[in-house]
Structure 1
Amino acid sequence: MDVLRFAEYKTYNEAEIMALYSSVGWSNYTNNPAMLRKAYKNSLYVLAAYADGKLVGILRAVGDGASVVFLQDLIVLPEFQRHGIGSQLMRKVMEKYADVYQLQLLTEASEKNIAFYEFLGLKRVEKYGCCAFIR
């Protein structure tokens, strides 16, 4: 594995972001680059993972940073998956917002995703007597 470095993602580079999203097939985002650019601009915090200077993973956080933070767009290049990068991105952002009342995310309900987020200590909303709505 290459040497990893984690840093706040401050300067939006459309080519590298599009390559990252394309690598995992997220065409709803890549088909609308203006929306994605605006989403990054308006994010509360974005943490990136670099291997030898190359962007290999990212996690966006949106919200107010006090009562609620929504974790959005956890992406790791396929060839770098299963090496703990996604877990490290999640842990670092969860630590940064440890005092926030609600830390939330939505994900595909696959066994793999559920196991990953439960491994990190997150719980399904049903465990709190809640449900989620989306439009």
Structure 2
Amino acid sequence: MIEYRNGSNIKREQLELLYDSVGWIAYTKNLKGLEQALVNSLYVASAWHEEQLVGLIRVIGDDQTILYVQDILIHPDYQRQKIGTTLMSDVLETYKHVRQKVLLTVDEPDVRGFYESFGFESCDKGSTVAFYKEF
């Protein structure tokens, strides 16, 4: 059974295991920075199987006009069990009053379909444009 929790108080080791499981090693190269990013987030929700962190979503924003889904990740052993759907639904319900919701992700058919199922539109299909810069 999956238990859902709110809050950024998650042990470093748990974060490292989850982020590494999906190959997000850029985050785990600086675990202190990842912990601080969670603390600084507007909202963090997580999914747990017993004492194992199996899913996480975190958002940043101003709680009024903009909400940015920064991270949503599910351990590969727990994918396709509606954990991501539950986490995203929680965020969208909690912040339904926020006018603009944004996220940036890889372009893969399953990923695109997941976000489109929540009403997100890809900038390549609409009248908006998106820019990003990585260092």
**Partner SS for 1:122:** coil
What residue number does 1:63 align with? Answer: 61
Structure 2 residue corresponding to 1:44, chosen from 42, 45, 50: 42
The residue type equivalent to 1:80 in the other structure is: Y
Q: Deviation at 1:57?
A: 0.3
Structure 1 residue corresponding to 2:51, chosen from 46, 53, 62: 53
What residue number does 1:12 align with? Answer: 10
> RMSD between aligned alpha carbons?
1.2
* Whole-angstrom distance in 2 between the partners of 1:101 and 1:5: 29
Structure-to-structure mapping, 1:1-135, within 5 angstroms: 3-135=1-133
Q: Deviation at 1:126?
A: 4.1
> Number of paired residues?
133
Q: Deviation at 1:127?
A: 4.4
Q: Deviation at 1:53?
A: 3.2
* Whole-angstrom distance in 2 between the partners of 1:126 and 1:101: 20
* Whole-angstrom distance in 1 between the partners of 2:84 and 2:108: 16
The residue type equivalent to 1:16 in the other structure is: Q
* Whole-angstrom distance in 2 between the partners of 1:71 and 1:117: 11
Gaps in structure 2 of 5+ consecutive residues: none
The residue type equivalent to 2:51 in the other structure is: G
**Farther off after superposition, 76-85 or 113-122:** 113-122
CA-to-partner distance for each residue in 1:2-53, whole Å, 9 max, x for gaps? x111110331310000100000010111112222122111100000011223
TM-score, normalised to structure 2, is 0.93
The residue type equivalent to 1:10 in the other structure is: S
**Farther off after superposition, 119-128 or 26-35:** 119-128
Q: Deviation at 1:107?
A: 0.5
Identical counterparts, % of pairs? 35
* Whole-angstrom distance in 2 between the partners of 1:105 and 1:58: 15
Gaps in structure 1 of 5+ consecutive residues: none
The residue type equivalent to 2:6 in the other structure is: E
Q: Deviation at 1:121?
A: 1.9
- 2:69–2:101 contact (8 Å) kept in structure 1: yes
